[in-house]
Amino acid sequence: MQTVIDNAKPFSFSFDPQSTALIVIDMQRDFVLKGGFGEALGNNVEPMSAIIPNLQKLLECCRKHNMLIIHTREGHRADLSDCPKAKLTRGNKTFIGEMGPMGRILVRGEYGHDFIDELRPKEGEIVLDKPGKDAFYATDLELILQNKGIKSLIVCGVTTEVCVQTTCRAANDRGYELVVPSDCTASYFKEFYQTTLDMITAQGAIIGWVCTSNDLIKALED
């Protein structure tokens, strides 16, 4: 049965919940909480934490409707063998693999690499560890979506202009329809946030659609 979000931009978005997956991108302590990698880079992390209540509501709604839920985490092996130099040398006095307040930054298994407590996956939900910004790169995400018969995606999480947008573009190239709930994604930079959402919906949904979590939840409940 098709569900329609009438107030989506640039026009209504139609999807079947049974062939739709919710992808929650990188809601990790290193990106979201004070003392993590994001703040160490000089960013204000308050916009990250502000979306947590909206994401909690959306998660519960999607769980209620038995939708496929995937949580991604960006991070690397302890020896950093999967982290290219072009990424390893990017930072602002603080770099991937160095010791931070929550352990080694963006290293799998460290405290900061893990999910925030409010959005921990439930049993049966997929946890996808990824070494890059694109959730499809060097992961089995596409295989999972194909095996589950997924045609549409709800993409949320952080940050809007980096991992969320990169994943949306990769999904679009693979033929998936997608919508981004605007109040379930965030950026450290206000101007990047809005520009990215505008880029997604430009030219008649060239990448995808944007809506609010309330409109999405209402469509599912109706």
Query: What is the set of active-site residues?
Result: 26, 130, 163
Amino acid at 38: G
Q: Give the dihedral sign, CA 12/190/33/82.
A: positive
- φ, ψ (nearest 5 deg) of residue 212: -100, 160
Tokens of 30: 């290193």
Tokens of 66: 């038995």
Nearest-angstrom CA–CA distance, 188 and 215: 25
Pairing of strands 209-211, 177-181: parallel
- 202, with CB counted inside 10 A (0-12, 13-18, 19+), is exposed
Nearest-angstrom CA–CA distance, 126 and 142: 13
Cα-based angle 57, 176, 189 (whole degrees, multiple of 5): 55
- Nearest 10 degrees: CA dihedral of 24, 83, 30, 46? -70
